[in-house]
Structure 1
Amino acid sequence: MNFIKRKTWQISENEVTSKELFDNRRTFLKLGAASLVASGSIIEALAKDQLPVQNLKFIKDNNPNNLVLNTYEQITSHNNFYEFTTNQSRVKDLAYTLNTNNWKIEVDGLIEKPVTLDFDDLVKKFALEERIYRFRCVEGWSMVVPWIGFELSKLIKYLKPLSSAKYIRFETLYDDDMFPDQARTVFGAIDYPYVEGLRIDEAMNELVIMAVGLYGSSMPKQNGAPIRLIVPWKYGFKSIKSIAKISFTNEQPLNTWQKENPKEYGFYANVNPKVDHPRWSQAKERVLGKFLKQNTLMFNGYEKEVAYLYKGMDLRKEF
C-alpha cells in the first residue's frame, strides 16, 4: 500500500471549514474547467458555486486529506483593504478602480543592481504552485485559502541582495486615482503608502509566498491584485497587498500599523494565542462561515516550521 506523506505545513481535515463547501469545488474540478470552459455544464457550475475560471498554470497542492476550503465568495467578499474603504464587505464593490495593467515593481536598496520588474515577466520566470494555508486576522477571524504563487526566497535569490541587507521592506502602490481613501490625504484611514517588512531569514522561509492568484485564477482586485505577500504564521496585516516596491535594507522597517499605533502593533505580528491584543483576546478565532469559535494555534499552526526563527526572543515583547 502506498502512503502519501503530508507536508508539515498542510492542515488537517478537522481544522478547516465545512465539507459541503469543498464538495462543490471538487465537482467543478472534475468537470475539467481548463478544457471545457465554454460548455454549458461549466458555465452552470461557475454560476452555482461562484467559482472563477482557472487561468493560471500551477502545481497543485496534492491535498491528500481532502482539505476543505473557504468558498471563493467568502474569501473575496470579506476583505481588509483600507485604500478602498474600512468597510470589509464593500471593498469588492469599490475595487474596480484598481488598474493592474502593465504593473511594475520597483526594487532598490542593498542589492547588486536596482531594477524595475514587470509583473507579467515575473510570473513567467517562476513556476507557480498552490498553497492551501490558514489565514488569521488580528481582528479574530480566519479562513482557509488556496493561494497560487511562488516562494519569495526564489525572488530574493534572483535579486541578489548584498550581505549587509538584513530586512526586506514592501510598499503598496500609491495612486490616489485608483485608491479613494488615498485621495482623502490627511483625512484617510491610515498614512499611505502601506508599508510592511520582514527579516531576511523570515522572508527566506519556504512558507512565504508571493501570491498572484487563488482558486486557480488571477488575484481578485479586492484581495490585493496583481501580487501580494502571504506569510501564514503572522497576522494578516503583514501580508501586504498590491505590491509596487521592494527595498532591501539593514534597518528594521517601520510598518504601517506599528507607525499608526505602536502601543497595539509591533514589527513581528506572529500569531500567538497567549498574547492578547490590548483590546481583545487572541486565544480564539472565528472561521468565516462558522458560528462557533475555535482555539487559535501558536504561529497559526506552523510552529514546527518557523519557531526556530524566534529562539531566545520574548514573544510577548516582540508582538
Structure 2
Amino acid sequence: MLIKKRRPSDVLPSEITPESIYRDRRRFLKTSALAAAGTILAPDFVTAKPMEALESLDGLADSAFSTDETLTGYEEITTYNNFYEFGTGKEDPSSLAPKRLEHRPWTITISGEADNTGEFEIDDFLSGLTLEERIYRLRCVEAWSMVIPWAGVSLASVIKRAAPTSKAKYVRFDTLYDPQVMPAQAARGFSFLASIDWPYREGLRMDEAVHPLSFLATGLYGKEMPSQNGAPIRLVVPWKYGFKSIKSIVRIHFQETQPETTWAQLAPSEYGFYANVNPEVNHPRWSQAEERRIGELFKRDTLMFNGYADEVAPLYAGMDLRAQY
C-alpha cells in the first residue's frame, strides 16, 4: 500500500484552492443512513449545475494516496475534456454539459452477483463514507496528462456495502443513458458517435476494484464535480488510461465473466480491457513513451503504471504486460 509521509514541500489540501473555498464550506453529502431501494427526491431538488453554482465540499479528509506534483489548473481540467456523450471536441463537454446534465435527482443501481442490490439515491448511497481529497496523476491514452485533486470515496468502501458474492469476479460500470441530455447518444447515420453502443460501459477485475487506489470521485479542487468532468460521480483508476475512468455512473454491476467494455468493442486492436499505462507498448497510431502534461511546454517520460507501479504491479504478476494493453 502506498503510504506517503508529508514533507514541508508537499502540496496540502488547503493550498490547492484559495482560502475562501476552504472556509465556510457547505456539506455535500447528507448524513442519513443508506436508503432503501427506490428512494425518490422532491421534484424541486437542484438539477443542472452551471459552473458558478458548484458548491464547496465540507470536511475533506487528507489522504495518504496523494502525489505532491504540481497541480493542473482548474481552468484546464474543466475545459479540456473527453466526454463523447457531449461531442468529440475537447471543448464540447464544457460548452454543453453544465447546461444539460442534472446532478440531482440521481440514482445508482447495484445489480448482479451481490447481496445488497437495488436502486439508491446517491446522497444516501454515499452517506457515512469518508470523503477524501486525493491528488492523482491522470494519463490519457491520447498521450496527454494532468494532475488532479479529486474528492470522493474509496471504491472498496462502496463495494463492501454492496456485499458481492463469491461469484463476482468483475465489476461493470454504466454511464447515464439519456439522449435528450447527451446529444451524441442520439446520433444517427454513419458518424463515429452513431457507431457506439450506448450507454458507455467500463469494467474492472474485482481485485483491481477493491485496490486502495481505486476511487469514486464526486468533486475536484475542493468543489463538487463539474458536469463536464463526470458529475455527480465518476470512477478514477490512476494507473490505467483515462478512458477506464468512466463518468456519470448510474449502475454498478457485479458479474462472473469479463464484461464487454465500450472502447474494447469499438477498437479491440487499439483499446484493451486492462488499459494499464505502459510506456513500452505503443498505441497502434502513436508512441506512449512520452506524454504532454497540460500546462507544460515540453513532453515528459511516461511512467510504468502511470507512476503507481510499486502499488499495483503485484496485481499483474505472471501476466504478459505487453499483451494486456
Q: TM-score, normalised by structure 1?
A: 0.85
Distance 1:9 1:260, change over 3 A: farther
Would the aligned equivalents of 2:81 and 2:93 in 1 still touch at CA under 8 Å? yes
Matched, 1:72 2:74: yes
**Structure-1 separation of matches of 2:76 and 2:263:** 25
Matched, 1:57 2:47: no
Corresponding residue SS for 1:181: helix
Distance 1:142 1:27, change over 3 A: closer
1:183-231: CA deviation from partner (whole Å, max 9, x where unpaired): 1145461321100000000001000010000011110000000000000
**Structure-1 separation of matches of 2:65 and 2:274:** 30
How high is the sequence identity, in percent, across the aligned residues? 48
**Structure-1 separation of matches of 2:158 and 2:310:** 24
Would the aligned equivalents of 1:174 and 1:193 in 2 still touch at CA under 8 Å? yes
Distance 1:32 1:213, change over 3 A: closer
* 1:114 corresponding residue in structure 2: 117
* 2:225 corresponding residue in structure 1: 219
Matches within 5 A, 1:273-284: 273-284=279-290
RMSD, matched Cα: 2.9
Distance 1:67 1:317, change over 3 A: closer
Matched, 1:156 2:159: yes
Matched, 1:304 2:310: yes
Matched, 1:236 2:242: yes
**Structure-1 separation of matches of 2:272 and 2:66:** 37
1:275-310: CA deviation from partner (whole Å, max 9, x where unpaired): 000000000001001110000000000000000000
* 1:34 corresponding residue in structure 2: 23
Would the aligned equivalents of 1:10 and 1:133 in 2 still touch at CA under 8 Å? no
Would the aligned equivalents of 1:168 and 1:197 in 2 still touch at CA under 8 Å? yes
* 1:81 corresponding residue in structure 2: 83
State the AA in 2 paired with 1:301. G
**Structure-2 separation of matches of 1:11 and 1:179:** 44
Distance 1:61 1:195, change over 3 A: same
State the AA in 1 paired with 2:299. K
Matches within 5 A, 1:158-173: 158-173=161-176
Distance 1:257 1:63, change over 3 A: closer
Would the aligned equivalents of 1:56 and 1:218 in 2 still touch at CA under 8 Å? no
Would the aligned equivalents of 1:12 and 1:67 in 2 still touch at CA under 8 Å? no
Residue 265 (structure 1) shift:
1.0
Choose which of 140, 145, 154 in structure 1 pairs with 2:143. 140
**Structure-2 separation of matches of 1:301 and 1:293:** 16
* 2:276 corresponding residue in structure 1: 270
Equivalenced residue count is: 295
Residue 57 (structure 1) shift:
2.6
Distance 1:232 1:263, change over 3 A: same
Distance 1:261 1:212, change over 3 A: same
Would the aligned equivalents of 2:145 and 2:292 in 1 still touch at CA under 8 Å? yes
State the AA in 2 paired with 1:309. L
State the AA in 1 paired with 2:77. I
**Structure-2 separation of matches of 1:233 and 1:263:** 20
Q: Which runs of 4+ in 1 moved over 6 A?
A: 9-14, 62-65
Please, which moves more after superposition, 170-179 or 108-117? 108-117
Distance 1:61 1:157, change over 3 A: closer
**Structure-1 separation of matches of 2:6 and 2:270:** 30
**Structure-2 separation of matches of 1:7 and 1:248:** 29
State the AA in 1 paired with 2:322. R
Residue 114 (structure 1) shift:
2.1
Choose which of 179, 182, 188 in structure 1 pairs with 2:185. 182
**Structure-2 separation of matches of 1:12 and 1:303:** 25
1:42-96: CA deviation from partner (whole Å, max 9, x where unpaired): xxxxxxxx99752343103479986421111111010000000100122101102
Corresponding residue SS for 1:316: helix
State the AA in 2 paired with 1:7. I
Would the aligned equivalents of 1:33 and 1:53 in 2 still touch at CA under 8 Å? no
Choose which of 126, 129, 133 in structure 2 pairs with 1:130. 133
Please, which moves more after superposition, 236-245 or 57-66? 57-66
**Structure-2 separation of matches of 1:262 and 1:150:** 31
Distance 1:182 1:257, change over 3 A: same
Residue 11 (structure 1) shift:
12
Distance 1:64 1:264, change over 3 A: closer
Please, which moves more after superposition, 110-119 or 189-198? 110-119
1:153-211: CA deviation from partner (whole Å, max 9, x where unpaired): 11111100110110000000000111010111454613211000000000010000100
